[in-house]
Amino acid sequence: MSELIYPHVLLLSYYSNGDRQYPPNPKIDDLSSLISLDKYEVKGYRIKQSLHNINSLFLICALQTEEIPPDYDRFYTLTKQLLTARELEEKAEKNTGKIGQKIGQTLILIGYLPPFVTFNQENCQKAAQSAYENLGQIKAQTWSSPQKAEKFGAQVFSLGETPIASQTDSEKIEHILIFIYRDRTAIDAIGNYYQDWLKLYCYRHLIVSSYRETRAIKADIKNYYSPALVFIENPNSPKALIECTLEQLEKAISKSARQSSQYTEGISNLETQKAAIETNLYNYTQQLKKFSETDEFSETVNRHYLPQIQQDITTLTPGLRLHETWVNTLRGMVEIQRAKSDRDIEASIGAAGVGAGVSSAVASATSALVKDFETDWSPAQNLTVVLSVSLLCGLGLGILTFYLLKKLRSP
């Protein structure tokens, strides 16, 4: 199999902003001192640039020879060195607070077929697959069904991460493009596309990142059903709810109100991420029009991911009513408990007043009666008799008054 000539490797990385942004205009630095490959001369460049509040780091390297390499190890070696250069850059920039969390990365492999090989779909695909397999453990996908297109003046093979996939480590490349050109003249024109590629794949990674975020948000929202379901899924839930104390109900209201707020915020975040995807998809398709009208990625987002998010919003929104009903139920239980407590307190106060009044009256009457009796009792014994009689009468009438008041004030 013929090898690709004049291999180029481009690594595009995107980050959320740290404390400071990269300059809006490209800042180009020489990277050649960090890249080497056997006896071949290698040119490398580093471009830092801010794009739509995203910091982008663009690393490029290429063999400066048209000698046909003996194998495809060049792509692996060059890619590994670019990853190392990027790691050094990330460490330095994170210390200065210039870059935040990584949003995504795209690897582009470029070369052209030897002149004795016919430039057709079959030969381009064989060369692209061999170059891809040469990446070894760096690649994150399989070659099962790469997207194919004719754009940028080349045969393009794309293996892209799907938005449902989770973020992998920095050594795994999730979005890989392989451009097979017809000849050296066509490759020399790629410098005209650098800024277009940087913007195009920035929008793509923002879409993927937002979709991943919606999957995490949806998983969190489902956890906020739990307060109501503790009782709803319990066969003894009505009895359990009725037997809750006022303190238990108030704690349940506090927890449920907090989780209801989180649930509402989750729905709002889904809508925000959906709007972000729509905006970035529009920008992506507008940028793509410079090369072709549409592609499989944009169609997939339109056909599957945006409808999926809308379906999630539609399905989860009724849960807000569940939370509202649940919180209102708890508040109603608290009001009942408080009203019952208030009636008990009022009845207790009334009973205590009656009991005290009766005790005082009985004590006066009993004291007068005791004096009229001729007994051998001492004054202390007489006092004991008076107090006992007055307390028993006061307590009895107080208890009777308590139950009568409760019965009269019952709803």
DSSP labels for 98-160?
-EEEEEEEEEEEEEE--TTS--SHHHHHHHHHHHHHTTGGGB-S-SSS-EEEEETTEEEEEE-
Give the single-character DSSP code of 303. I
Give the pLDDT of residue 392.
52
Q: Tell me the Ramachandran region of residue 166: left when phi exceeds 0, alpha when psi lies from -120 to 50, beta otherwise.
A: beta
**Strand-strand pairing, 42-51 and 27-30:** antiparallel
Positions of the chain with pLDDT under 50? 1, 72, 165-166, 168, 228-230, 232-236, 238-239, 345-347, 349-356, 358-359, 361-363, 365, 367, 369-370, 373, 380-383, 385-387, 389, 391, 394, 398, 402, 405
Q: What is the CA radius of gyration of the chain?
A: 40
Note the pTM of the prediction, 2 decimals.
0.73
Q: Note whether 129 and 139 are within 8 A (CB).
A: no
Q: Can you say how many angstroms the Cα of residue 249 is from the centroid of all Cα atoms in its chain?
A: 31
Query: What does the pLDDT look like over 171-183, one tens digit per residue?
Result: 578 899 999 998 8
User: What single DSSP character describes residue 166?
Assistant: P
